[in-house]
Each structure stands twice: as C-alpha cells, then as structure tokens.
Structure 1
Amino acid sequence: MNGTAWRGDDVILSGSGVTLQYKTPNHLVTATYKVDFEVCQSDRYVILGPSGCGKSTLLKAIGGFLAPVEGEIRIHNQRVKGPGPDRMMVFQEFEQLMPWKTVLNNVLFPMIATGKFRGRQAEERAHAALDKVNLTRFSNVYPHMLSGGMKMRVAIARAMALEPDVLLMDEPFAALDALTRRKMQEELLSLWEQLRFTVLFVTHSIEEAIIVGSRILVLSPHPGRVRAELGCECFHYGNVENPEFGGLSKRIHNLLFETGQMPAEEAHS
C-alpha cells in the first residue's frame, strides 16, 4: 500500500487484494481492483474517491452484502462471509428511521428483529444507548420532530445498541446543503469524542474526508485502486483556513486524478 503503513495489534477490520465486480445488462464491471486497507480500534477511517470509483460497492462488501472475486475482507481476523451485527450500516439521510415509531421504538426494533436482545434487556440497552447520545428526554417523540443532527444520533444509537465493532456510513451527508453538512460533521465528531466508536465513512468530498477522518484511503477513478493512505488527525474539526489544510486538500486532489495507464489485467470485461 502507498502512503503510511498503519499496523498493530488493534487492527479489527482489514482487506487484502479486494477486487469486486458486478454485472450490468451488457458488461461485467470491475468496481475495485486489489484494494488493501486496515481499520484500527476507534479509527475514523474514510474511503475517499470520485463518483463511480467503487467506494460504496466496497462498503457493501465490508458489510457482507457482496463477496470479492479476488482477495478477502476480515474482521477480527475472521473472513467476512455475510452480513453480521459486528458491522452496522448508517444510510444516507438516516432513511432507515421509521417515522411511525418513537425514538425509543426505533432503537428497540433491530434488537428485537434480530433476536439478539429481547424484553427488559432490550429496553435497558435502548435507554442506555439513547443516554449515551444525549437523547433520553426525546425517547417518546417521533423522527419528524427531530433536527437532522438528532436523527443522526438516533441512527447511531440504534446501530450501537447492537454492539457493532464497526459503524459503516455511506455518504450520509451527501444530500445536505453546505451549512447543514458542516453541522452534521461536527455532530458526528462530537459524538465520536464521547464514545470513541470505530467508524468507516465513505465520501466523495475531499474537504469532508479531511474534517471527519483520522485516516483517509484515497481511491483512483474507476476501477477503484489505492492511490495512498494518509493521516489527517491534526485537522480534527477541520480548520479549513489552515494553509496545511489547503496543502493536504491539493495533494489529495492530485492523487485522485493523477493519470497513468491501467494495466491490461485491470480492465473490466
């Protein structure tokens, strides 16, 4: 892998030579090609790349919804063979929140549906999760009564009540206006400061990647290949006026769009 090597005993999620493909009516498309990554405990790990580079497809594979055609994905050194409660997804605009259920019942639902927790144990866990995200007093209200940041906290509480090892977030703020997006980034970072959960965050925004991430995996345009892995912890909460922020942004831009002939074996069918 290009860039800084991050290795240690706290690696909980990794990929080695991950090549992913999917079918269209006319073609077999290679989404990613031989991608390597390592996510450590409490990382804010960002996968960054232009539209169509395969980053969301990679996240689906990490979630267990798509199997690599080459390479492997491992969690706690066990090969990922399908979805599991150790990896929970938070979708765009928190669309998985059910508007007809209260905040508390939204958090309860996946625990009961999966059968992992039931009855009083599930209720205790739901209340504890809401307390961690500072939403206890909103447990009996409905999602439409909440701000965007509060909805995000509900979605995260709901995921974390199942005790996942990694929280997967697929461009959750992509549809928001610039000011709301920045507020949501700050909400996420504030919550991470409290709970120190491990998050794998997909985005196509360079600025968002630097603000949200502690490390960034930079992918090339289609098919997604690793350009570099970069540390950016010093930009936590993102001082975008900092000249170093601009320098890192420019470096990432150059990495994203640097040109080069793709080896023949990488071409999609």
Structure 2
Amino acid sequence: MNARPTIVPEPLLQVEGVTLQYKTTDHLVTATYRVDFEVMPGDRYILLGPSGCGKSTLLKAIGGYMTPVEGEIKLKGRKVTEPGPDRMMVFQEFDQLLPWKTVKQNVAFALTASGRATGTEAMDRAMSYIEKVGLAKFADSFPHMLSGGMKQRVAIARGMAMEPDILLMDEPFAALDALTRRKMQDELLRLWDDTRFTVLFVTHSIEEAIKVGTRILLLSPHPGQVKAELNSLPASELGTAAQGALETRINDMLFA
C-alpha cells in the first residue's frame, strides 16, 4: 500500500533577494541587502535584530510603501507593488486612531473606507473584533479616554477586522510599560489561538521574539542581512532553562 505524498503548503509571503535603500539629506542608505525568507499561512513570524538593521523598512516594503532596488516581494504568488487591504499594519505609536471617532467607528471606518464591508455589516464585524480584544465596554468611547494599551488593542482589532492575508506589526508593544507589554503579548497569543491569523512581527527584544513567534529571522546590524532562521519554543518551555539557552544562542548569533 503506497503512502500518501505529504502535501507541503505554499508560502503565503515570499521575500526574495530584497535590497532596500532610502535617501537622507546627505546619503543613500542601504537598509537591507539581499534578504530572503518565506512566511507560511498561520505563522507568527518574527523579524529580530538590533536598531538600524532594516526591520521596519522591510515591513514597509511588504506593506507596499517602498519598492526594492533588487529582488521582489510576493504575496500569494503575486508581486507586491502597492499597498492593499490584504496587508494591514499596526505601528508602535498609540495615536493611530481617528480622535473624533469612537472605538467602534474607528474599526468600522477601516472596513467601509476599503470597501471590505458597509453599513450594518461593518458595524457588526467591528464589534465582533472589539469583543475579541476585550474592549466591548469601551466601544462607544473616544481614543482620548483610553490608556495606551487599550488604544493599541483597538489598532489590533482594526487590523484584524479587515481579515487581511497577513497582519504586519512594527514593534507594536515597544512604547508600553513592562507589565502592559506582557499582557498585550498574552492577548495577541490568545487572539492567534482563536483565529490562527498570519502575523509578521518586528521586534528588537529577544525575549519578546521567543514568546510571540513560531519562527524567528535574525538580521545583522546595518545593512540588514539574514544571519539565521530559527524555530521558537512551544509555550510549555517558556520560562524554563530552554528559553534561557535559546536567548543566549540568539544573542551570540546577533552580536558575536
């Protein structure tokens, strides 16, 4: 009896030999150099490296806001050439929300402005994701009435409500205090368990990379080049000697 062939899923996102450059007043800066990686459906994929290694620049290019000078970026096999609702970005700044709209209106506005949903459907979907991030009681509140962590949860709800192919998160918890940051990491993992969305997450925290990610891409200091790709740890091994060993290994690979 012949064994069934293993079906290998297609990559959702392919970054192939991508070099990114941008101009400052005095210089042409090479942010990344010939970076390659693939993100599979349902991955929590981490871009990890020191400041200035091109992590955020890569995210902007995947979002369609920059064009590589070399290589290409493909989503579902199609070349990325411009922004689109199939990729939603969550930034680290708290003030990502429209201050004159309520929490529910902010989330629904993304749906109606993009044509993803209209009227009652947009409001219902917005409310569903607001409930997922635990802010149902604040649906009619305005951004100035929320804490930083709550604003960030609204931004995540807004991104997820669009049901994009991939959620792009640029150090989304970096500006939070340590306890709120830990809570937000737990919240993100709980949401992922619920919906299994695909996320590409930028951080320069080794501890956060291990906790949040399933796979971790290590980038060298400027210009960013791929140093290694590693699997993270299962949740059962977080806080054990295995985590300490992996943190040490990553630190040595990044900075040795």
TM-score (norm 2): 0.91
Q: How many angstroms does 1:149 deviate by?
A: 4.2
SS at match of 2:249: helix
2:254 is aligned with 1:256: yes
Q: Is contact 2:133-2:187 (8 Å) kept?
A: no
Q: Is contact 1:45-1:199 (8 Å) kept?
A: yes
Gaps of 5+ in 1: 1-6, 259-269
SS at match of 2:110: helix
After TM superposition, the structure 1 = structure 2 runs for residues 68-217 of structure 1, keeping only pairs within 5 Å, are 68-217=68-217
Q: How many angstroms does 1:147 deviate by?
A: 4.4
Which AA in structure 1 matches 2:95? E
Q: Is contact 2:149-2:176 (8 Å) kept?
A: no
Structure-2 change in CA distance of 1:238 and 1:174 (3 Å): farther
Aligned length: 250
Which AA in structure 2 matches 1:21? Q
Gaps of 5+ in 2: 1-6
SS at match of 1:140: coil
Q: Is contact 2:16-2:37 (8 Å) kept?
A: yes
**C-alpha separation in 1, matches of 2:221 and 2:109:** 38
Q: How many angstroms does 1:10 deviate by?
A: 4.2
SS at match of 1:81: coil
Structure-2 change in CA distance of 1:22 and 1:232 (3 Å): same
Identity over aligned pairs, percent: 64
Which AA in structure 1 matches 2:187? E
Q: Is contact 1:189-1:237 (8 Å) kept?
A: no
Deviations 1:18-76 (A, max 9, x none): 11011122221111011111111111110000000011100000100001111111000
Q: Is contact 1:149-1:187 (8 Å) kept?
A: no
Q: How many angstroms does 1:192 deviate by?
A: 1.4
SS at match of 1:74: strand
Q: How many angstroms does 1:204 deviate by?
A: 0.7
Aligned residues: CA RMSD: 1.9
**C-alpha separation in 1, matches of 2:249 and 2:186:** 24
Structure-2 change in CA distance of 1:238 and 1:141 (3 Å): farther
Q: How many angstroms does 1:114 deviate by?
A: 2.3
Which AA in structure 2 matches 1:109? F
Q: In structure 1, what is the equivalent of residue 24 of structure 2?
A: 24
Which AA in structure 1 matches 2:254? L
Q: Is contact 1:90-1:169 (8 Å) kept?
A: yes
Q: Is contact 1:91-1:170 (8 Å) kept?
A: yes
Which AA in structure 2 matches 1:239? L
Q: How many angstroms does 1:254 deviate by?
A: 1.3
**C-alpha separation in 2, matches of 1:105 and 1:10:** 36
Structure-2 change in CA distance of 1:167 and 1:43 (3 Å): same
Q: How many angstroms does 1:239 deviate by?
A: 2.7
Structure-2 change in CA distance of 1:217 and 1:206 (3 Å): same
2:225 is aligned with 1:225: yes
Q: In structure 2, what is the equivalent of residue 239 of structure 1?
A: 238
Which AA in structure 2 matches 1:74? K
SS at match of 1:92: coil
Q: How many angstroms does 1:247 deviate by?
A: 0.9
SS at match of 1:50: coil
**C-alpha separation in 2, matches of 1:195 and 1:148:** 24
Structure-2 change in CA distance of 1:238 and 1:155 (3 Å): farther
**C-alpha separation in 2, matches of 1:130 and 1:177:** 22
**C-alpha separation in 2, matches of 1:246 and 1:230:** 15
After TM superposition, the structure 1 = structure 2 runs for residues 19-58 of structure 1, keeping only pairs within 5 Å, are 19-58=19-58
Q: In structure 2, what is the equivalent of residue 261 of structure 1?
A: none
